[in-house]
Amino acid sequence: MIQFTHNDIDVGTRLAEALVQQARSLRGMPITYGDLLTLARSLHPKDEALGRAVQVGIGPKLAFVEAFCAAQGYPNLASLAVNRMTRLPAPGYTGEWEADKRAVADADWAGIEAPLAAFADATRAKVPARFKPRKERPADVAWYAYFSAHRAACEKVGKEDKQEIINQMMAGLDPETALKRVLAAQADYGELRGQV
C-alpha cells in the first residue's frame, strides 16, 4: 500500500472531482492524464498544488482516488484515466477495465463531495509526522544540493520529473525518496513528459 503525502491527497481529491465531471458529462469516456490535469485545473484554477502537478506524478494521486472509491464502495473512477499513447490505464491497473468504465458511467455521483472530503481528512490524519511540508524555494535548494552530489543517479531526471520531485519534497519527502518515487513512475507515466 502506498504511503500518501499531503500532495497526493490534495491533488488526488481534485482529480476525483474532475473524474466525476468526466463520468457525468461524457458517460465514462476515458480521459488522458494530461487532459485530466487540465480539466481539474479548469475546475480549480487557483489551486497551487494542482497547478504544479505533472503527469509523471499522477500515479499516487490516482491511487488515492482508487482507495477512496474502494473505501466508499464506489466504482473505480481512476479507471477513466489513460495513457495518451496507448489509450489504456497504467500497466499496474488491476481491475476489469471495461466493466469498471461501464460501472463508473452508470453510477449516481450525487452527494460524493462530503464522503470525498471526509476520506481526504481521514487520510491526511494518517500522513506520518516526519512528512513535514516545506515551501517551494527550500525544497528546490535541497533538491539542487542532492542533485549536485548525486548527478549519476539523477541522469534520467527531466524537467517534469524535477517538478514532481520538488512537489514531493514540498510534501515532506526527502530528496532520495522523492527521486526513487519519480523514477519508478517513469515506466508507467514518464513517456508522456512534456505532452498534454
3-state helix, strand, coil in the chain (%, to 5): 65, 0, 35
pLDDT digits (tens, 9 = 90+) for 101-136: 999 999 999 999 999 999 999 999 999 998 988 999
Taking only the tens place, the pLDDT of each residue in 18-44 is 999 999 998 889 999 999 999 999 999
Amino acid letter, 130: R
**C-alpha grid cell for residue 89?**
490505464
C-alpha cell at 120: 481526504
Phi, psi angles (nearest 5°) of residue 155: -65, -25
Residue 169 scores a pLDDT above 90: yes
Buried b (16+ CB within 10 A) or exposed e, 66-75: bbbbeeeebb
**pLDDT tens by residue, 45-61:** 999 999 999 999 999 99
Question: What are 186's three cell numbers?
Answer: 517513469
> 2-11, 90-99, 105-114, 138-147: lowest mean pLDDT where?
90-99
Grid coordinates representing 148 are 549536485
Three-class DSSP category at 31: strand
> With 80 as the cut, is the pLDDT of residue 148 above it?
yes
User: HSE (CB half, 13 Å, CA atoms) of 84?
Assistant: 15
Residues near 183 by Cβ (< 8 Å), separated by ≥ 6?
A: 156, 157, 161
Q: What is the pLDDT of residue 192?
A: 43
Of 81, 7, 89, 6, whose CA–CA distance to 37 is shortest? 81
Tens of pLDDT, residues 9-23: 999 999 999 999 999
